[in-house]
Amino acid sequence: MRMTEREKEIFEVLKKEPMISQDELAQRFGITRSSAAVHISNLMKKGVILGKGYVINEQVSVVVVGESYMGIQVGVRGDDISIDLIYEGFGVELSRALANFGLNVKVISVIGNDDVGNILLGRYQEKGIDTSTIFKHTGQRSARKIMVNGEVIFQEAFKREDYYQAINQREWVALNCEWLVMQPDLQEAIITLTAGRDDERRPNYCTLKYMEYPARIPSYIGQYSLAVLGVRHSSEIDYYADQALGLVKKSNQNLVFTDGSSRVFCLSDAGETDFPLMPNQSFDIDERLPYLLAGVLYGLSCSYPLRQAVRIGIGAASGSE
């Protein structure tokens, strides 16, 4: 759940001094005792503290919801053919990118109870990611994909219902975080869970998406606090930026567009910002877009201005952070 700046300040004091009185808190921050009591009450309603003695509920900073799979990646360039075995997926890529910043990350995903599943768990765990919320499917082996030049030709995947079941069983984790990073085609389950909650009690929704020109930006992007959209050519950035103007309606919404080679364009309620990319800052959007999202999210989670958060994201995506 999101906290106000004052609530964050009080929360940090309570973590270090759990027995501090409301009178002392009021003096510490130059506010009235009744104001301190209201802040404490709000923190309890949000589940951040659990009651007497200000027992801290160490909520997760970031939860990533997405798939995990083994892929056979075939690259064909004329007479040259390469075949690589990869262990990837939205869940793997985003959580690993976020963990690089030292964020407290949990992941909700589905794997099989097999060797591939164990390897995927290892991919998470080597970055210190908590895998206790990953669902092990006992009746099906881990997902597999065959890709040629980045296009999925064959796949053996879990049903969407399997992911929805995993999300529902881990509802508390999904809803009690600061930032919820969602694979777009799994968002329906999350939106259903949060229906009826006011904005103050919802996590910040985040996602990334690769746009295929001239497809329109999906309307659901307007519900996200942070969305990073990758395009193939520089000219497409303006095309999608024009579409996005009507999507930014709330003060905490940030939309980021990039082709990875010429510029990063940002749109928020504060206006538009363009970041030209220097040659040493360019990156492959197919591989590095998750790192751009991770860097921007990290910057915003630290309360940095969007401009500084985007610079952090560019550094992460280009490998120059």
Q: Per-residue confidence of the chain (321 residues) as pLDDT tens digits? A: 567 888 888 888 887 777 788 888 899 899 998 998 898 888 776 666 755 566 555 555 899 999 999 999 999 999 999 999 999 999 999 999 999 998 889 999 999 999 999 999 999 999 999 899 999 999 999 999 999 998 999 999 999 999 999 998 888 888 888 899 999 999 888 877 777 666 666 889 999 999 999 999 998 898 899 999 999 999 999 999 999 988 887 667 999 999 999 999 999 988 899 999 999 999 999 999 999 999 999 999 988 899 999 999 999 999 854
> Can you read off the two tokens belonging to residue 169?
């069983």
pLDDT at 193: 77
The two three-digit tokens of residue 33, written as one number: 């005792």
pLDDT of residue 104: 87
Please report the pLDDT score of residue 247 as a whole number.
Answer: 82
Say how far apart CA 256 and CA 273 lie, in whole Å: 10
Instruction: Give the rounded distance of the alpha carbon of 154 from its chain centre.
Output: 27
Strand partners, 71: 86, 145
Q: What pTM value is reported for the model?
A: 0.80
DSSP 245: T
Q: Please state the three-class secondary structure of 12-55 as a single string.
A: HHHHHCCCCCHHHHHHHHCCCHHHHHHHHHHHHHCCCECCCCCC
- Give the helix/strand (H/E) hosting 190: helix 187-194
| pLDDT computed for residue 58 by the predictor | 52
Is 132 strand, coil or helix?
A: coil
Domains and CATH numbers, the chain: 5-58 (1.10.10), 61-193 (3.40.1190.20)
